[in-house]
Amino acid sequence: MSAKVLERLCDAAGLRDLHDKVLEGRRLTFDDGVRLFRSRALMAVGGLANLVRERKNGDAAYFVRNMHLNPTNVCTVDCKFCGFYRPYKHKEQGWTWGLDRCLSEVRARLDVEPITEVHIVGGHNPDYPYAFYTDLIRGIRDLDPGLHVKAFTAAEYDFFSRRFKKPLDDVFEDFKAAGLGSLPGGGAEVLVERVRQEIYRKKIPAERWLEVVRTAHRHGLRSNATLLYGHIETLEERVEHLCRLRALQDDTGGFMCFIPLAFHPENTELAHLPGPTGFDDLMTIAVARLVLDNFDHVKAYWVMVTARIAQTALNMGADCIDGTVVEEKIVHMAGARTPVGLTMDALLTLIREAGREPLQRDSLYNVLHRYESPAVA
C-alpha cells in the first residue's frame, strides 16, 4: 500500500497521530494500543504494522523445520482453557512417556525430515524424576548434535524448581549443561491477575512468569513470549500484557519472537465461548507488532490461526509462521481443524503467494537456507 493511501486510511480512522508516531519511530503508549484495537480499522492498523514489519525484516518470512514433543499431558494445574491435559487423579486417561518413547519419537522424525528443532512442552506431572528432563535433552542432542532443543515454558521451570527444591539458577545451569538451547513462549497466557483468578488460578502469576523468564535471560538463554487471546480477557488486558512484555524486553533483550495464540474452546471448560474471529486474529497480530517495538519478530502461528490467516498476516505485521510442525497436540485436542503438519512445498507456496521471501531459519533466527524463486510458468 502506498504511503499516501496509508495516510488517508489512518486519517479516516481518526488515527493520524498514531500514524505519525509510528512513522517517526516513537513508542506507543498503553492508551495508544487500546485505541488501535478499538478503532476496528484493520486496513489502517494492518498497514501501519506492515510498515514496521518491513522496516525490521524487509520481505523475509521465516520458518523453521521442527517437531513438537509432548512427553506427558498429565497435569496438576487444571487450566480451564486447556483441552490437552488430564488431571493427575485420572492420570491413566493421559500419557506419561518414558525416555525411550520420547527419543524414539524424535528418531522417527529424523528418519523422514531434516528437522533442526525439537520443541518440548508438557504437563506439570509429578511422576518424573529430575534426571528425566536432563536425560531427555541430552538424549536428543546425542541423536543429532545439530538439533536445537527449545524446551519447557516458564511455568514448567517454576514447577521443576518447586518440585525438586532447586533454585531456578541451578535448574537453568543443569539444563544448559545437558544441551538446552532456548525456551518457548508458553505459559504466559494473559499477564493479568484478574484473568488468572478466573481461568488458571493454579498456574504461576504474571510476576513469577516474568521473573522466571528474566532469570533464563540472565543465564544467556533466549526465549519467546506468547499471549493466549480470544476468551475472557478484555482488549485493555491484552495491551497490558504487551506492555509488561515490552518492559521486560527493555531490561533483558532476551526475547526473540512474540506469538499470539488464538484460543480454541472445544473440549475445554470454556467450550461455551466462541473463540476469536479471523478479524481478531489479524488485529491482534498487527497491534502486537506496533506495541512491541523492541521485539525483532512476530509469529503468525498457522497451526492456531489457520494457514490462510497466517498468510494474510505476513502483510499485516507478522514475519514468521513457525514451521513445518509435526504432531501438534495442544490445540488439536482443543478442536483445531488445521492439519497437524505442513509440507515444505505447502509452506513455500503459502509464503510466496503472499509476496514474501521464504527463509529457513534456525531456532535463533539465523538464516539457514534461501529458496530460489520458482520459474515463472
Binding site for ligand V47 (CB under 6 A): 81-84, 121, 153, 184-187, 189, 224, 226, 228, 259, 261, 263-264, 268, 301, 304, 322, 330-331, 334
Burial class (CB in 10 A: 0-12, 13-18, 19+), 214: middle
Distance CA 293, CA 18 (A): 14
Q: Which residue is nearest to ligand V47 (CB)?
A: 186
Of 320 and 354, nearer to ligand V47 (C-beta) is 320
What is the smallest separation between the CB atom of 8 and ligand V47, expressed in angstroms? 36
What is the smallest separation between the CB atom of 221 and ligand V47, expressed in angstroms? 13
Q: How far apart are the first and last CA of the chain?
A: 27
Of 189 and 237, nearer to ligand V47 (C-beta) is 189
| Collapsed DSSP state (helix, strand, coil) of residue 374 | coil
For residues 48 and 293, is the Cβ–Cβ distance under 8 A?
Answer: no
What is the smallest separation between the CB atom of 24 and ligand V47, expressed in angstroms? 31
Strand order in the sheet with 60-64: 320-323, 60-64, 357-361, 367-370
Of 10 and 216, nearer to ligand V47 (C-beta) is 216
Of 28 and 330, nearer to ligand V47 (C-beta) is 330
Of 171 and 213, nearer to ligand V47 (C-beta) is 213
Of 186 and 317, nearer to ligand V47 (C-beta) is 186
What is the smallest separation between the CB atom of 241 and ligand V47, expressed in angstroms? 12
Q: Region of 306 please: left (phi>0), alpha (psi -120 to 50) or beta.
A: left
What is the smallest separation between the CB atom of 15 and ligand V47, expressed in angstroms? 30
What is the smallest separation between the CB atom of 347 and ligand V47, expressed in angstroms? 15
Burial class (CB in 10 A: 0-12, 13-18, 19+), 353: exposed
Per DSSP, 28 falls in state P
What is the smallest separation between the CB atom of 93 and ligand V47, expressed in angstroms? 17
Element (H, E) at 60: strand 60-64
Of 28 and 326, nearer to ligand V47 (C-beta) is 326
For residues 172 and 138, is the Cβ–Cβ distance under 8 A?
Answer: no
Return the bridge partners of 262, or none. 229
Residue 304: name the closest of 269, 271, 265 by CA.
265
